[in-house]
Amino acid sequence: MNKRTYEQSIITNWISEINKPIFFCITVLITFGLLISLTINPGTSRYLNNNLFAFFNIQALYLAIGFLVFISISLIETKYIKLFSVILFTICFALLALTLLFGDEIKGSRRWISFGSFSLMPIELVKPVFCVVLALILNNQYQGTKISSHSLSALIYISVASILVLQPDISQFFLLSAIYFGSVLMSGFSIIILTVIVVFGILSFVMIYLLNFNVQNRINSFLFPNEYDVSQTEISLQAIKQGGIIGVGPGNGLLKNKIPEANSDYIFSVVAEEYGLIGCTLILLIFFIISYQGFKKIYGNNDHFIQICLFTLILYVCLQALIHIGVNIRLIPTTGITLPFISYGGSSVLGMSIAAGLILLFSKNRHIRE
Q: Which residues bind another protein (CB under 8 A)?
A: 44, 47-48, 107-108, 141-144, 182, 185-186, 188, 191, 213-214, 217, 228-229, 231, 234-235, 237-245, 254, 257-261, 272, 277, 280-281, 284, 287-288, 291, 295, 298-299, 304, 307, 311, 315, 318, 322, 325-326, 329, 331
- Nearer to another protein by Cβ, of 5 and 226: the residue is 226
CB 337 within 8 A of CB 265: yes
Cα–Cα distance for residue pair 50/365, rounded to 1 Å = 49
Q: Shortest Cβ distance from residue 188 to another protein (Å)? A: 6
- Nearer to another protein by Cβ, of 239 and 358: the residue is 239
- Nearer to another protein by Cβ, of 13 and 140: the residue is 140
- Torsion of Cα atoms, 213 then 215 then 219 then 220, to 10°: 10
CB 362 within 8 A of CB 309: yes
- Nearer to another protein by Cβ, of 172 and 291: the residue is 291
Cα–Cα distance for residue pair 87/93, rounded to 1 Å = 10
Which residues does 234 contact at the CB level (< 8 Å), separation at least 6? 225
- Per the DSSP assignment, residues forming a β-bridge with 105 are 110
Cα–Cα distance for residue pair 253/239, rounded to 1 Å = 8
Cα–Cα distance for residue pair 129/138, rounded to 1 Å = 14
CB 101 within 8 A of CB 323: no
Helix (H) or strand (E) holding 112: strand 109-115
Sheet holding 118-120, edge to edge: 104-106, 109-115, 118-120
Q: Shortest Cβ distance from residue 264 to another protein (Å)? A: 11
- Nearer to another protein by Cβ, of 200 and 295: the residue is 295
Q: Shortest Cβ distance from residue 122 to another protein (Å)? A: 21
- Nearer to another protein by Cβ, of 66 and 253: the residue is 253
Task: State the DSSP code for 339.
Answer: P
- Nearer to another protein by Cβ, of 26 and 259: the residue is 259
Phi, psi of 144 (to 5 degrees): 80, 160
- Nearer to another protein by Cβ, of 201 and 260: the residue is 260
Q: Shortest Cβ distance from residue 329 to another protein (Å)? A: 5
Helix (H) or strand (E) holding 118: strand 118-120
* Longest Cα–Cα distance in the chain: 75
Q: Shortest Cβ distance from residue 299 to another protein (Å)? A: 6
Q: Shortest Cβ distance from residue 145 to another protein (Å)? A: 10
CB 95 within 8 A of CB 269: no
Q: Shortest Cβ distance from residue 133 to another protein (Å)? A: 19
Q: Shortest Cβ distance from residue 154 to another protein (Å)? A: 19
Residues in the chain, overall count: 370
Q: Shortest Cβ distance from residue 269 to another protein (Å)? A: 10
Question: Positive or negative CA dihedral for 22, 28, 31, 32?
Answer: negative
- Nearer to another protein by Cβ, of 211 and 245: the residue is 245
